[in-house]
C-alpha cells in the first residue's frame, strides 16, 4: 500500500460511516426518500450529477489503460490495504444519477479489507466506486504518466473538475432540501 493513499485517507477519518448493513440500508433509504420528496428542486443537483458522470466516463478509458499497464506486475495491491469508503457525495451521486448503489459499504471496520477487491481486481463497475478509488494514482501509474505530460495534465484537470462539481452538487442538494 502506498503511503500517499494511506495519508490522504487517514487525514479525514475517525470511523467508517454506515459500516453495517443496517446503517448502510438506512442511509440509502433516507437519501432515496429525500430525493423523491424533493424532486421539484433537484434540477440543478441532477445537472451537476450528469456533468460529473460525463467527466468520469471520459477518463475511465485512461484509467483502464493505466491499470492494464501497471497492475498485472504489482506486488503490493493497493485495494488489499486501502483505507477508503463511500462518503456522502458518493452516495448522493449514485442516487441522483440512478446508478445502482453497492450492496454494502466497502469496509466494515478499521483495518478490514475492501469487500469488493478480489484477485481479478475490483468487482464494482468504475462508475459505482467511491471517487477516491478513481482519483488515486499509485506511484507506478504516476511514473507511466510521467512520460505522457499532455495526457497527465488532461487527467489531472478532469479530476479537479470532478472534485469541484461534487462539492457543488452536495451544496446545491443540501440547499434544496433544507
Residues forming the site for ligand SF4 (CB under 6 A) = 67, 70-71, 74, 77-79, 82, 84, 106, 114, 116-117, 122, 124, 129, 133, 138, 140-141
β-strand partners of 118:
121
Q: Tell me whether residue 72 or residue 98 sits nearer to ligand SF4 (CB atom).
A: 72
Question: Could you tell me the CA-to-CA distances from 147 to 3, 34, 74, 155 in Å, in that order?
Answer: 23, 46, 19, 14
CB of 171 to ligand SF4, least distance (A): 25
Phi, psi (rounded to 5 degrees) for 118 = -145, 180
CB of 33 to ligand SF4, least distance (A): 26
**What number of CA atoms fall less than 13 Å from residue 11's CA on the CB side?**
5
Q: Tell me whether residue 47 or residue 139 sits nearer to ligand SF4 (CB atom).
A: 139
Give the chain's end-to-end CA distance (angstroms, integer).
Answer: 40
Q: Tell me whether residue 3 or residue 11 sits nearer to ligand SF4 (CB atom).
A: 3
CB of 42 to ligand SF4, least distance (A): 27
Q: Tell me whether residue 96 or residue 140 sits nearer to ligand SF4 (CB atom).
A: 140
Question: Could you tell me the CA-to-CA distances from 150 to 70, 121, 144, 156 in Å, in that order?
Answer: 19, 28, 12, 10
CB of 133 to ligand SF4, least distance (A): 3
Amino acid at each position: 500500500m502506498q503511503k500517499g493513499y494511506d495519508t490522504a485517507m487517514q487525514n479525514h477519518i475517525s470511523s467508517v460511516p454506515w459500516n453495517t448493513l443496517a446503517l448502510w440500508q438506512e442511509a440509502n433509504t433516507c437519501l432515496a426518500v429525500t430525493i423523491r420528496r424533493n424532486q421539484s428542486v433537484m434540477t440543478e443537483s441532477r445537472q451537476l450529477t450528469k456533468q460529473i458522470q460525463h467527466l468520469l466516463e471520459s477518463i475511465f478509458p485512461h484509467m483502464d489503460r493505466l491499470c492494464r499497464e501497471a497492475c498485472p506486475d504489482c506486488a503490493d495491491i493497493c485495494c488489499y490495504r486501502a483505507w477508503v469508503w463511500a462518503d456522502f457525495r458518493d452516495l448522493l451521486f449514485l442516487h441522483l444519477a440512478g446508478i445502482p448503489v453497492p450492496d454494502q459499504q466497502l469496509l466494515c471496520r478499521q483495518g478490514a479489507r475492501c469487500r469488493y477487491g478480489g484477485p481479478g481486481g475490483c468487482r464494482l463497475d468504475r462508475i459505482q466506486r467511491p471517487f477516491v478509488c478513481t482519483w488515486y494514482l499509485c506511484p507506478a501509474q504516476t511514473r507511466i504518466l510521467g512520460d505522457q505530460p499532455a495526457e497527465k495534465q488532461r487527467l489531472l484537470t478532469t479530476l479537479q473538475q470532478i472534485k469541484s462539481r461534487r462539492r457543488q452538487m452536495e451544496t446545491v442538494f443540501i440547499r434544496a432540501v433544507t
